[in-house]
Structure 1
Amino acid sequence: MASQKIERLLLAVLVVAGLTTMSSGTTSSPLQYDYYNATCPGVEEVVRTELVALFGNDSTLPAGLLRLHFHDCFAAGCDATIMLKSHNGTAQRDADPNSTVRGYEAIEAIKAKVEAACPLVVSCADIMAMAARDAVNYTMGPAYQVETGRRDGNVSRKEDALRFLPPADGNVSVLLDYFAVQNLTYKDMVVLSAAHTLGVAHCPSFSDRLYNYSGAGDVDPRLDAAYAANLTAACPAGNVATVQPLDPVSPYTFDLGYYQTVYNREALLASDAALLDDSLSFAYVQLMTNGSSLSIFFDDFAASMINMGRIGVRTGTDGEIRATCSIYVD
């Protein structure tokens, strides 16, 4: 029995090593660390101070800001175009996948503080990257440096969000396709999925797993039976308002609770449950159920967030620096 456990652990370690190698091919970035040292010194502390005050009033905001950054980057690059508004309902934020995204007002509040210190110097896109990093760290996750130098985009299209945001019911193969489009690796996909250690999901995002998984009114067999019963009680058919924590183990702490939830077959979203269906992602999930793997996860997550923060960035003379992030574009 002991030898089998050791073999499983070694397998998982080898998988992690292989996935690390797969991530090492990330291209160099036009961004840089400490980009604002000369033009707006202390900006990251301004952002952090404002965020701490906001987080103190809303314990759910860190998850919102982390998700906001993810949805911005995947739709059209990390250029804050998710912040833009449309009178005609044609902007990214009007797309169905963004209907429950939140944190816009927090970014605007932080931007106002930054503008007071350094007018028209720091982009909304960089503020969003800093805010996501600080949200992770505030909830006991890793502290890591953020590359900066992004500029803001001025075109926001609903179709970009519909086309490029990964679906909540995607299997590993589908998810890999969405991540590959963004030049992100297999490892980035498995690691960034753990952003779901924070936040909640509304009942419609997983109700098919409770009531009509195969089209015959059945429950997804990958769900733990007792957990499925609890979800059914909390989310009656047709309920659209109720939410459930994505990580019931520790919903407000950035830790390994997500992987424990997935491993225990208590993942809300089919895309999270799918990590058990693939041998490589399963091995990583299994390894992360061991508390001693926390430092590995923290290093991995920081590296993958940096990779994600490079998606489609605008630098130099491309894009703009807006005084207000949430302006109307039509």
Structure 2
Amino acid sequence: MASSSLSSSSSLFRRLAVLQLAVAATLILTLGGAQAQLQYDYYNETCPGVEDLVREALLAKFADDMTLPASLLRLHFHDCFAAGCDATIMLKSHNGTAQRDADPNATVRGYEAIEDVKAKVEESCPLTVSCADIMAMAARDAVNFTRGPAYQVETGRRDGNVSRKEDAERSLPPADGNVTVLTGYFAAQNLSMKDMTVLSAAHTIGVAHCSSFSNRLYNYTGAGDQDPALDPEYAKNLTAVCTPEHMASVQTLDQVSPTTFDTGYFQSVYNHRALLASDAALLEDSFTAPYVTLMATNASYAPAFFQDFSVSMLKMGRIAVRTGTDGEIRATCAIYVD
């Protein structure tokens, strides 16, 4: 990378950092009392050791299923964006009207793992620890298990008891959105453009179904064409697996290190090997591309990415939380609400 380009990227990187600090300050002022009631080590007196209990229970599950960490990270994201981090994605509906019944949640998984962990926590501390907090801990442990940062989680959330399909359909960002579209979805949650860029890198682990990106292979503009932004060799490999008859197949989101939480995601995006259009779009925007480029081409910035991700996850974990007397602590996370 040319030194002038690196200097420009570094300058924009600093601008991103300043923007995040400004938005964080605004967030502290606007979220008010609910955010203030979240705190570190919230359960020290009422359920001491609960974070270790959750972690140990999950480690056993991760050892049996290497795809679970990505699933739990996604589950937390989809819960927070739909109606706040209140575990309402866990709720069920006999009539198919709950968040988990929405199309964007059709391939979400990990519900059973959260329920199993909740059962273990209930044995030690009945009706004390919320499902929402367990989900936040699980997302953190999923990131750390795959060699990502071991950030600290704020706790004190309570669970919601209303789950609406339309909340997920309205609030979850689309897999084919451009930066303008994505920024709008994140801004609605008081998250900045930098948060959007950083949290998109959760795709450094996990997979996507072929149906999520097939239009890039077969009908990009509606004329039966292919997305020219795709690396030709990569596109050829994808079409060999994601044939029109096999849209249920899956592909790894990060082509460099799909099971390790690192900057491989940014390398995939930088090399035009991003699977989803929403990921590829980060390289096309003048504000997000420098961050992608910096992380993809300079390994020394990996610790900065880990720090950025930790900060953005902390902010995401505060979205519309229920605390104090708002909400409930239930014994089972996945109950029917109709």
TM interval, shorter chain, is: over 0.9
Q: Give, in angstroms, the shift of residue 95 of structure 1.
A: 0.4
User: Which residue of structure 1 lines up, in the alignment, with residue 3 of structure 2?
Assistant: 6
Q: Give, in angstroms, the shift of residue 239 of structure 1.
A: 2.1
User: Which residue of structure 2 lines up, in the alignment, with residue 23 of structure 1?
Assistant: 20
User: Which residue of structure 2 lines up, in the alignment, with residue 321 of structure 1?
Assistant: 329
TM-score (norm 2): 0.96
Matched, 1:261 2:261: no
Q: Give, in angstroms, the shift of residue 240 of structure 1.
A: 2.3
Q: 1:296 aligns with which of 294, 301, 304?
A: 304
User: Which residue of structure 2 lines up, in the alignment, with residue 195 of structure 1?
Assistant: 202
Helix, strand or coil: the match of 1:279?
coil
> What per-residue deviation string (whole Å, max 9, x for no partner) do you get for residues 255-311 of structure 1?
001000000001110000000110111100000012111101000000000000000
Helix, strand or coil: the match of 1:201?
strand
> What per-residue deviation string (whole Å, max 9, x for no partner) do you get for residues 191-234 of structure 1?
00000001000010000000000111000001001100110011
What's the C-alpha RMSD, in Å, of the aligned pairs?
0.8
Counterpart Cα distance in 1 of 2:155 and 2:5: 40
Amino acid at match of 1:252: T
State the percentage of identical aligned residues: 71
Structure 1, unaligned runs of 5 or more: none
Counterpart Cα distance in 1 of 2:227 and 2:120: 47
User: Which residue of structure 2 lines up, in the alignment, with residue 182 of structure 1?
Assistant: 189
User: Which residue of structure 2 lines up, in the alignment, with residue 310 of structure 1?
Assistant: 318
Matched, 1:117 2:124: yes
Helix, strand or coil: the match of 2:59?
helix
Q: 1:286 aligns with which of 288, 293, 297?
A: 293
User: Which residue of structure 2 lines up, in the alignment, with residue 51 of structure 1?
Assistant: 58
Counterpart Cα distance in 2 of 1:130 and 1:16: 29
User: Which residue of structure 2 lines up, in the alignment, with residue 167 of structure 1?
Assistant: 174
Counterpart Cα distance in 1 of 2:9 and 2:122: 47
Amino acid at match of 1:313: V
User: Which residue of structure 2 lines up, in the alignment, with residue 156 of structure 1?
Assistant: 163
User: Which residue of structure 2 lines up, in the alignment, with residue 89 of structure 1?
Assistant: 96
Q: Which runs of at least 4 in structure 1 moved beyond 6 Å after TM superposition?
A: none
Matched, 1:272 2:282: no
Helix, strand or coil: the match of 2:56?
helix
> What per-residue deviation string (whole Å, max 9, x for no partner) do you get for residues 114-134 of structure 1?
111110010000000000000
Amino acid at match of 1:329: V
TM-score (norm 1): 0.98
Count of aligned pairs: 327
Amino acid at match of 1:88: N
Once the two structures are superposed, the pairs formed by residues 72-111 of structure 1 within 5 Å of their partners are: 72-111=79-118
